[in-house]
A and B are shown apart, each in its own frame.
Chain A
């Protein structure tokens, strides 16, 4: 089974702090994604990466950056956390060649609270 793990299930940070969310997948997937999930809004794509050191902006990249130094690891960085970034953050990966089929494997999520 594909396993996508996220470094924390729950995280509480203060406004202005730099926050790192880590995601690791164990199936050698090329594609990795970061989403945030908010009530009534579904999942919204923040960034995705289709290869090591490659990244592309999603729908809502403002206030976030990402890093992918190794194929299995994709990090989401909140440069200066703000209260409107309080949310559930979900990481996903998809197999090579999945193209436009969007069969993604998700981690359990990190619930981030910014106070």
Chain B
């Protein structure tokens, strides 16, 4: 059965780099890996997605090893406003939207 695993929580300080890893043991061959950010009382917001190797945008980087069984979201120089819950999303090898697997989320707390 497909499953994603993330740390439940992480703590960091302003200005540090934060890396959050998600394990996905049964990702579908053709699927991207997508990460979302969620603030209290809001829906998740798309951050970044990738298929393999490394992807970078204006807010984050995503590292994906060759076997694609995990991915690491990297947030450079975090600020207090990055305090949120972060979710990874993959499609299971069974395929189709009905096999979307969200991780349980990582609660990141950024301290002054």
Contacts and interface: CB of A to CB of B under 8 A. Distances in A.
A103 B49 contact: yes
Interface residues of A, number: 28
A105 interface: yes
A42 B102 contact: yes
A3 to B, nearest CB: 11
B34 A103 contact: yes
A31 B100 CA distance: 14
Nearest to B33: A102
Contacts of A101: 32, 34, 49
Interface stretch (A14-22, A55-63, A78-86): A55-63
B82 interface: no
Contact of B97 (A44, A48, A90, A106): A48
A38 to B, nearest CB: 10
B39 to A, nearest CB: 10
A43 interface: yes
Interface in B56-85: none
Interface string A33-66: 1010000111111001010000011110000000
Interface in B19-49: 28, 30-32, 34, 41-46, 49
A92 interface: yes
A102 B98 contact: no
Contacts, number: 66
Using C-beta atoms within 8 Å of the partner chain, give the interface range for chain B. Answer: 20 to 34
Contacts of A40: 104
Contacts of B41: 108-109
Given A101-B32, A102-B89, A109-B43, A42 B100 contact: no
Given A48-B98, A103-B46, 14 more contacts: A40-B104, A42-B87, A42-B105, A43-B44, A44-B102, A56-B97, A58-B100, A59-B98, A92-B43, A102-B34, A102-B90, A102-B91, A102-B100, A103-B49
Interface of A: 4, 31, 33, 35, 40-45, 48, 50, 56-59, 90, 92, 100-109
